Amino acid sequence: MGASAYDRCDIDRDGTVSIRDVLCMNDFLNGKYSFPSSIDLDINQNKIIDYADSLAIMAKLVSLPHSVKFVDITENLNPQQIVSEEMLAESEFVEGVLFPSEEIAEPYAAVEDSREYYKFDCSKRTYTTYTLEIKPEVQTSSLDANELNSVSTIDGDYYRVNGNGMDGIVYFTVNGSSGTGFIVGDHTIATAAHCVFNYKSTSTNIVDKFYKGAAVTMCDVNGNVIPSKKYTVEEIHIPKGYVDIASPKDSGAASPYDYALVTVSEDLSSYTHFRLGIPSPNYINNMDEVKIFVSGFPDDANKYVSTSVGHESKDRSSNEQRLYYTNDMYAGMSGGPAYTVTDIYENENFRERINTVLAVNTARHVSSLTFEFLYASGTVMNSHLLKFYGVNPNIGY
């Protein structure tokens, strides 16, 4: 039987579309296992593999018409200039954050089958190591995809966005520097490794390089910082690959390993949780019509979430390690989510809106000669990051 005879929703390829296919999709998105080929998992063919695809399978099971559409959350909002062009041009030298030029950004290692991590206990100031392995468990075949009609794109600017999950963005402060994170679990916050690890330190002791006194401050639904909602970080988890790369001469902000998670003892279930997804491998270099948003805190002077909007950059090819996009950004936005916004409809009735993170925002790439902004990039979501954030048994909460 040829591959074209399979139903796209039958992702486990057992010949039947069942609840098992929904569970397989959910397990994949939670990082429980990977697929040898994830091309087929883009069930709704919008170029993103995410929670909406799981809902599409469920809708087929109950014969309910199902559709999705990307949403521009900045539509009808006026852009707001957060920082001057002069400050943006100098952002490569902001204390605590380096946005490397192309000379030090590449090359980095290819995707491996397993990754080793450091788990740092902030109160005891001790660390342990553990390994997470990615093992393919479900075989899929390849199906032809239908092209979507292009939609308009807009250039990057900063916006204030009310609602739409802005309470899921958190503000980091560590040793006088600031950064951004986003909530992915009841006690878990995702961010960039360079926001929680002092790559500029010359100490040979790894413990000395973990920032002391890291804290996160929560926001309301409109993205306004709530000063009283400040939580102390309990654990910091980062890839060993990042520690091996990062140095005073290279922040590692453009590496495949610039991602981290932190835990807090307080319950975060009442705040918006960002869902994680991955760009479909079929379209990772053909997503320029998909709007990408980056939210975070441009600098210490702006105690509210600011959002920039752009799309995949055609000046640099994205890959399964990094996603490149046209959104401009400032230093404090490191560690924030690069995400899409999708509205889901069932039987033409609105069901829900989801924010799907495609990458952890990490780097603002500028010309080494003119300091002109080229593009931004982030550590793209793949099976390693899905497992790290989703079903990581080493998280202490």
Same domain, 11 and 109: no
Same domain, 34 and 95: no
Sign of CA dihedral 45, 51, 54, 60: negative
Residue 79: its pLDDT value, please? 77
Assigned domain for 105 exists = yes
Same domain, 58 and 81: no
Residue 356: its pLDDT value, please? 95
| Cα separation, 59 vs 51, whole angstroms | 12
In this prediction the pTM is 0.86
| Cα separation, 56 vs 40, whole angstroms | 13
| Cα separation, 37 vs 244, whole angstroms | 30
Same domain, 73 and 57: no
Q: Token pair of 214, please?
A: 């890291």
Same domain, 128 and 83: yes
Single out the residue in 66, 92, 115 at which a domain terminates.
66
Q: Residue 129 belongs to what domain range?
A: 69-141+152-390
Same domain, 23 and 118: no
Assigned domain for 395 exists = no
Same domain, 129 and 212: yes
Same domain, 157 and 305: yes
For 5, residues 6+ apart whose C-beta sits below 8 A from its C-beta are none
Q: Token pair of 27, please?
A: 């397990």
Cross-strand pairs, 340: 356
Amino acid present at 152: S
Sign of CA dihedral 88, 92, 93, 95: positive
For 377, residues 6+ apart whose C-beta sits below 8 A from its C-beta are 254, 316, 322, 323, 324, 325, 359, 362, 363, 365
| Closest C-alpha to 44, from 152, 149, 146, 151 | 146
Same domain, 164 and 220: yes
Same domain, 230 and 355: yes
| Cα separation, 328 vs 311, whole angstroms | 11
Same domain, 100 and 58: no
Assigned domain for 314 exists = yes
* Ordered per-residue pLDDT tens for the chain, 397 residues: 334 456 788 887 778 888 888 988 888 898 887 765 566 788 888 899 999 999 999 988 988 888 888 888 888 777 775 554 444 433 333 333 333 333 334 455 567 789 999 999 999 999 999 999 887 654 443 333 332 222 222 234 788 888 888 999 999 887 767 789 999 999 999 999 999 998 888 888 999 988 887 889 999 998 999 988 889 899 999 999 999 999 888 888 889 999 999 999 999 999 999 999 999 888 888 888 899 999 998 865 567 899 999 999 998 899 889 999 999 887 789 999 999 999 988 888 888 899 999 999 998 888 777 778 889 999 999 999 999 999 999 998 7
Q: How many structural domains are present in the chain?
A: 2
The β-bridge relationship of strands 225-232 and 215-219 is: antiparallel
**At how many degrees (to 10) do helices 19-29 and 383-390 cross?**
90
| Cα separation, 298 vs 294, whole angstroms | 11
**At how many degrees (to 10) do helices 19-29 and 51-61 cross?**
180
Contact 210, 267 (CB under 8 A): no
| Cα separation, 333 vs 305, whole angstroms | 9
Assigned domain for 179 exists = yes
Assigned domain for 195 exists = yes
CATH number, residue 357? 2.40.10.10
